Amino acid sequence: MTDKVSILIVDDHPIFSHGLAMALSNLELHSEVDVAHHPTEAFDKLQQKNYDLVILDIHLPGTDGLSLLGQFKAKYFGLPVVMISADTRYELVEKAKDSGAFGFIPKTFDNARLIGAVRQIIEGKPFYPSELALSSLSQSQLEQPESKPEAGLTGREVEVLRLLAEGMSNRDIEERLFISKSTLKSHLESVFRKLQVNNRTACVVKAAKQNLI
């Protein structure tokens, strides 16, 4: 990634927002990061500059972050807006997704996972941590076995599954396992086929129900 990526953080907590800005600026994203603490300030900055990404706190004083998301999307067509929050209730994440958010990043992420999530989003791929889907399932649901337990996953495929469950991006998995993009793609296609699913979230949920991870 050679071009500078312009990111706007909209969050009313100065310590967190400036820490996040520093993390994104100092690490390997080659990004220029601005911070707005209020919606009015955010709109002012959006008027003055074309951003590649907005990271928006889902809880802002005096307004609802999801309402602000709708305003951003209506006024700045095509601008990716990602929600960020310490509140990771499944219903809230689903509401953000239904409202058009391009992703959801928990504030509990460490720098490595944060950078991986933002990198994935900048590459045009929505980011929703797979473990948030798992948290929506009751323990009884997870313990209830599938009617046709799936076998035949290789050791490497199980490794890939576990990293998916941690919410890691494809690139981070490639780096962790020292494998190429094409090799990971092959593993994912094989896992999806064996588990009879067609996306990461469904894959992790089904793997958990079958006690594969």
Under 8 Å between Cβ of 165 and 204 = yes
Write down the pLDDT at residue 43: 94
Asked if residue 14 has pLDDT above 60, the reply is: yes
Asked if residue 208 has pLDDT above 60, the reply is: yes
CA-CA-CA-CA dihedral for 117, 122, 126, 128, to nearest 10: 10
More confident residue, 213 or 192: 192
In a shared domain, residues 120 and 140: no
In a shared domain, residues 101 and 17: yes
pLDDT in tens, 18-77: 888 888 876 566 788 999 999 999 999 999 999 999 999 998 888 888 999 999 989 998
More confident residue, 187 or 132: 187
Residue 104 belongs to a domain with what CATH number?
3.40.50.2300
Q: How many domains does the chain have?
A: 2
- Cβ contacts of 25 within 8 Å, gap of 6 or more: 31, 32, 33
Cα three-residue angle 143-129-199, rounded to 5 degrees: 75
Write down the pLDDT at residue 166: 75
Asked if residue 191 has pLDDT above 60, the reply is: yes
What is the distance between the alpha carbons of residues 87 and 89, in angstroms, rounded to a whole number? 6
What is the distance between the alpha carbons of residues 85 and 76, in angstroms, rounded to a whole number? 22
Under 8 Å between Cβ of 56 and 81 = yes
Domain edge (last residue) among 101, 128, 155: 128
> How far does the chain reach from its first CA to its final CA, in angstroms?
33
Asked if residue 154 has pLDDT above 50, the reply is: yes
In percent, the amount of the chain with pLDDT more than 90 equals 28
What is the distance between the alpha carbons of residues 129 and 143, in angstroms, rounded to a whole number? 21
Lowest mean pLDDT among 62-71, 109-118, 133-142: 133-142
In a shared domain, residues 105 and 159: no
pLDDT in tens, 78-110: 899 999 998 888 788 888 888 889 999 988 888
Domain edge (last residue) among 65, 97, 128: 128
Asked if residue 146 has pLDDT above 70, the reply is: no
Structural domain boundaries, residue 198: 135-209
Cβ count within 10 A of residue 104: 23
In a shared domain, residues 18 and 123: yes
User: What is the pTM (predicted TM-score) of this model?
Assistant: 0.66
Domain edge (last residue) among 76, 93, 128: 128
User: Which SS3 state, helix, strand or coil, does residue 84 take?
Assistant: strand
Write down the pLDDT at residue 109: 85
**How far is residue 147 from each of residues 85, 144, 195, 196, 210, measured CA to CA in Å?**
37, 9, 12, 13, 10
